[in-house]
Amino acid sequence: ENFIPPYDCTVYELLRASGGVLLGKCDMDEFAMGSTNENTALGDTKNPWDITKVTGGSSGGSAAVVASGQAIFALGSDTGGSIRLPSSFCGVSGIKPTYSAVSRYGLVAFASSLDQIGPIARDARDAAIILDEIVKYDNRDSTSVMVETGYLKNLTDNIKGMKIGIDMSHYDGLNDEIKQAVFAALDVYKDLGCEIVDLSFSHNEIALSAYYIISSAEASSNLARFDGVNYGMRIQGDDIIDTYTQTRSKGFGREVKRRIMLGTFVLSSGYYDAYYKKALRARSVIKNNYDDAFKKCDIVISPTAVSGAFERGRKTQSPTEVYLADIYTVTANIAGIPAMSIPCGFTKDNLPIGLQIAANSYNEQKILNAAHAYQNAADYHTNKPGILKQV
Ligand code: GLN
């Protein structure tokens, strides 16, 4: 609260240099940990489609301001789905770029091997415009690479012949409304001349555990700097240990403390091999599976989330139930690949449904073109989405 940063982050510098005007900062889950926007000290953001529902998290404020027309676009950060899940719940288009494509200089680190910044916008075209501005090499982020851009210039809705991979096991036990909306979108893609390729990922059951182990381990290390001495708030205690204890006990919310404890546990000497090392092995499996998949297809399509936005307050009691909301999104971060969520219809309760489109590293253009083609061709503003009648 009332924090004024001493310097600007790279993404903001870039946007300001090209004429962008900063309207404000948006609410989010504390340290970007959460899927609902309810892990916040400042009060949760309500979903503009239904204020009894959550926005999704962690970049929920960003998705809500775009969905409600308060901003033409916003930025979010995505470590395991935090751009895509709120985009899905709020009916907007958000893309997590390839790991290393956008500089994170000035972003508070959550899990450094997974974090990326990306735009949340009204559609793929707007997202392409913003990506053209923020995908730039920056020597202040050691992972940054030089990437060829021109996303807007190369945007096309001619995606004839594009190969779309789907894994049918993603739909086992999935709520019918979500399943039907995604299948209707796949029909639109078939009408646009795309070919569907069957995939069968071996990682579906391990991905979420791998994500929560790796991200918590990295978070416990990254957040060690918030000790009341150099960073963040400070509560003066009787001695240095008391200052650390009081600062860290009062300065972090429940969810953040849970992650720090989980992360410290999985890195501790007796458990390192059993959890952290195993999670790294799972990470290689996931990466290899995507490498193999992209030999057979251009993009992979799945739902973004298992449901529409859930009730506010309902899930905060059960952290593991909330973690399950990230089941479709975390693998893109683990593999480092780009992925986007675009709206593909509504539930019968008029809550937006999200379609996730992923591609191989540095293939953002394929995702944007697929999203753009769908947004031009499909009637996705209803709860019976399908191809628009050509008039
Ligand atoms: N919901 C996930 C988590 O809580 C993802 C967060 C994110 O992408 N920042 O860790």
Question: Per residue in 33-86, pLDDT tens?
Answer: 999 999 988 888 999 999 999 999 999 999 999 999 999 999 999 999 999 999
pLDDT of residue 390: 54
Q: How many whole angstroms from 320 Cα to the centroid of ligand 1?
A: 13
pLDDT of residue 321: 81
Angstrom distance (rounded) from CA 276 to CA 210: 8
Contact partners, residue 190, CB within 8 Å, separation at least 6: 196
Ligand 1 atom closest to Cα of 114?
Answer: 8
* Closest residue CA from atom 4 of ligand 1: 34
pLDDT of residue 315: 62
Which residues form the pocket of ligand 1, taking CB atoms under 6 Å from any ligand atom?
32-35, 58, 77-82, 110, 215, 326
pLDDT of residue 391: 42
Residue 197, helix vs strand vs coil: strand
pLDDT of residue 317: 65
pLDDT under 50: residue ranges of the chain: 391
Closest CA to 358 of 329, 385, 378, 327: 329
Ligand 1 atom closest to Cα of 211?
Answer: 10
pLDDT of residue 43: 84
DSSP string, 307-338: SSPPBTTTSTT-HHHHHGGGTTTHHHHHHT--
Ligand 1 atom closest to Cα of 111?
Answer: 9
Angstrom distance (rounded) from CA 320 to CA 169: 21
Ligand 1 atom closest to Cα of 35?
Answer: 1
pLDDT of residue 4: 86
Q: How many whole angstroms from 147 Cα to the centroid of ligand 1?
A: 26
Q: How many whole angstroms from 211 Cα to the centroid of ligand 1?
A: 9
Q: How many whole angstroms from 115 Cα to the centroid of ligand 1?
A: 10
Q: How many whole angstroms from 384 Cα to the centroid of ligand 1?
A: 30
User: What mean pLDDT is reported for the chain?
Assistant: 95
